[in-house]
Chain A
């Protein structure tokens, strides 16, 4: 995904000579007094697969609607290929949007819904028919082409909406939760289809999703939003491994947050977190003042469980097993420490055996390396 054809890593955001396709400059959007987008700055580059992540109501759809031209920023400028797009009406923008509500035309059948945009650009008939058939095949909707939208299931409607927005092969495609109603298998297939389309057509995708795994799978970069602001914009692995705030760490994936006070500066920071326990050691990507309140974010899969006290690690905690959640490929152990804190640790189930090493109420040792935990200012 992050490779372009020359085999070089695809990272235009690191290349100062690269011109962004989309630029948000100090964009603010208010609905009356309510601030939906607040002084937002963002560059999105051509051929990116850009994922927007954030809690409900944080402004993801609003951001997309401004790109599509249905909302105008209250202040600030949005540029597409270096050109301010404020004056360009939606029908003149080389942007297509898949609506969160699908917005299928109820009076047209599925075939005509998909053909709608192609008819508007006066595409020759045979070419248009081929294109519609291709879209139907892609979304596995061939059998339903003659049905009206109300005659197909919710997931099928979602696929039609996706097909309709893909049909015109625009420069920029905005997908507002495109796969939410699909089952896991179909969703995964469609994700790979989207990545294929992206690679073969070079279309730029901006996609909203509530599914972080999806964002991790498809995205070149992920933006985590909160209350109309961007909290972090980075590649999926950076977001996951080195979140810049407790908010991001907590939002993306499973994490244990241990609060305390920062002890030392530098690359590795010690965190005192409770009476009578040694400080925890973690890495910090931003300098933290000594004595400042801080939190360590540690992913459950980075924590090892053992029955003996490990001797080669500094981050060692004792507790007893409170709960075990079996998730198929992994099991999550909830371990309660002496002071009451509950820490989650994950172990991969590599062997297919019923016997567990640990069971409820077992005393266990948790440990992790000095670089596994990230210490963040709070």
Chain B
């Protein structure tokens, strides 16, 4: 092991400071006693208490959670299916076009995705609410799931599936009993990714939500325009904790899966 030089230590500190100082300040001020956000008046958790008595925030949180759960599940199923077809179906006409198209939403500006979904929902006559946000979030997060899962499927040894068929499985059983358990870590980390993406999306949600359903990011955004309140700080701290947990577990799961794969490939 080489010694940690002063230079390395300094660059690391500066880098991390840039990344995390803003969040750290937010977290610290969420425990501020004072109502003034910029003046420290001692430690308190009272804003968390306030937060849990605020009906509007609780409603928004409930909407956000429902949207995140449904859209991430839907995105996981659709994204996994799309990845399976793209990696497995071999050549079919338009395969390249299809696989390019499934990844397009990854690079599409969110405003455009949001706007086009809005136009679609209006022309279909769908009332904007939880359902439309779920559909919109599914649309943009399924391609993330599909990327994660197809990376795993590409290195999946197809003879495993053949062996399952050979031993009497129907193609669906082979998928359920062999393929799915083997790629499960990738599917789970894709699901976590979709969940956190849905949780913190503002742009697309603001296009597709209606008066009947507001998500937390929208709620935060609109109340901030009336001035930052310590309640918002508390809420944001909770969101940071949830998102961080999601992202860290996703990366831990895929890391463990990669290690497992290394072991398997020594076969």
A residues lining the B interface (CB < 8 Å): 68-70, 89-91, 95-97, 99, 101-107, 116-117, 120-121, 149-150, 154, 157, 164, 168
Contact = CB atoms under 8 A, between A and B. Distances in A.
Nearest to B182: A107
Nearest to A161: B163
B166 interface: yes
B202 interface: no
Contacts of B168: 91, 117, 120-121, 168
Interface of B: 157, 159-160, 162-171, 173, 177-178, 181-182, 260, 263-264, 266-267
A103 B162 contact: yes
Given A106-B182, A107-B181, A120-B168, A99 B266 contact: no
B64 to A, nearest CB: 34
Given A105-B178, A106-B182, A157-B267, A91 B163 contact: no
A91 B178 contact: no
A150 B266 CA distance: 7
A99 B167 contact: no
A99 B264 contact: no
A164 B166 CA distance: 11
B165 A91 contact: yes
Contacts of A105: 160, 163-164, 178, 182
Contacts of B171: 91
Contacts of B181: 107
B167 A168 contact: yes
Nearest to A89: B165
Given A99-B162, A103-B160, A117 B264 contact: no
A96 B162 CA distance: 11
Nearest to A106: B264
A95 B163 CA distance: 11
Contacts of A69: 165-166
Given A91-B167, A91-B168, A103-B159, 20 more contacts: A69-B166, A91-B170, A95-B166, A97-B166, A101-B157, A104-B163, A105-B160, A105-B164, A105-B182, A106-B182, A107-B181, A107-B182, A116-B164, A116-B177, A117-B168, A120-B168, A120-B173, A150-B263, A157-B267, A164-B163
Contacts of A102: 267
Contacts of A116: 164, 167, 177
A91 B157 contact: no
A70 B160 CA distance: 12
A106 B163 CA distance: 12
Contacts of B177: 116
Contacts of B164: 105, 116
Contact of A68 (B166, B169, B182, B267): B166
B267 A90 contact: no
A154 B162 CA distance: 21
A90 B170 CA distance: 9
29 contacts: A68-B162, A68-B166, A70-B162, A91-B171, A95-B166, A96-B166, A97-B163, A97-B166, A99-B159, A99-B162, A99-B163, A101-B157, A101-B159, A102-B267, A103-B157, A103-B162, A104-B267, A106-B182, A106-B260, A116-B164, A116-B177, A117-B167, A121-B168, A150-B260, A150-B266, A150-B267, A157-B267, A164-B167, A168-B167
Contacts of B263: 150
A101 B170 CA distance: 22
A164 B167 CA distance: 9
A99 B264 CA distance: 16
Contacts of A168: 167-168
A71 B173 CA distance: 20
A149 B264 contact: yes
A157 B163 CA distance: 15
A219 to B, nearest CB: 23
Contacts of B178: 105, 107
A161 B262 CA distance: 20
A91 B169 contact: yes
A95 B177 CA distance: 20
Nearest to A167: B167
Nearest to B264: A106
A90 B165 contact: yes
A90 B163 CA distance: 9
B27 to A, nearest CB: 40
Contacts of A154: 267
A70 B159 CA distance: 10
Nearest to B261: A106
B167 A150 contact: no
